[in-house]
Amino acid sequence: MSAGNDGGGGSNHDAGTTSDAGTTSDAGLTSDAGLTSDAGSGVADDAGAAAAIALAHALFDAARQGDNATLVRYLDAGVPFTLTNTAGDSLLMLAAYNGHPAIVRDLLARGADADQANDRGQTPLAGAVFKGHTDVVRLLVDAGADPDAGTPSARAAAEMFGRTELVELFG
């Protein structure tokens, strides 16, 4: 976690997304969202890919900004809670890093992995520790998050920033 890290390890511009429900085709043309479209299918597919990209951006922004109503609406409609951006930041990572306990609680209840690291090895727990979101830290610990997972680990971040109450919470 670096001081310049703005949103759970990623920038506010999520250049792409992945999920368990990724879309691919034989043409191999990939949009910014990691969705792949058929080269001969034309404008309709391009519009669909653009809409999917816009939706992904909106969902990442909702996780960052604490817009639980928007996230719940789309998650209930079938958007996978495993959605990640090209930096590997999950919705849980973004919500934890930005201190949104209601979203963290909802994502954990849906089965989000409390220890899922992003592409830099950072976990949601370490992100919450780094930003000092004690309520989110407690939720993640209660969900079984490992304080020693990731790089740096949540324990190392708590020690580095003198957050003794969190070090004690980790045992």
> What are the tens digits of pLDDT across the range 56-70?
999 999 999 999 999
Q: Which fold has domain 17-170?
A: 1.25.40
Q: Is 168 exposed, middle or buried (0-12, 13-18, 19+ CB in 10 A)?
A: exposed
Give the model's pLDDT for residue 20. 40
Asked if the model's pLDDT at residue 13 lies above 50, the reply is no
pLDDT tens string 111-146: 999 999 999 999 999 999 999 999 999 999 999 999
Q: What are the residues facing 85 on neighbouring strands?
A: 17
Give the model's pLDDT for residue 22. 38
Asked if the model's pLDDT at residue 162 lies above 70, the reply is yes
If you write DSSP's letter for every residue of 101-145 in order, what string do you get?
HHHHHHHHHTT--TT---TTS--HHHHHHHHT-HHHHHHHHHTT-
> How many other β-carbons are positioned within 10 Å of the β-carbon of residue 153?
20
Give the model's pLDDT for residue 60. 97
Give the model's pLDDT for residue 17. 44
Give the model's pLDDT for residue 32. 35
Give the model's pLDDT for residue 45. 82
- Is residue 68 within 8 Å of residue 106, measured between CB atoms? yes
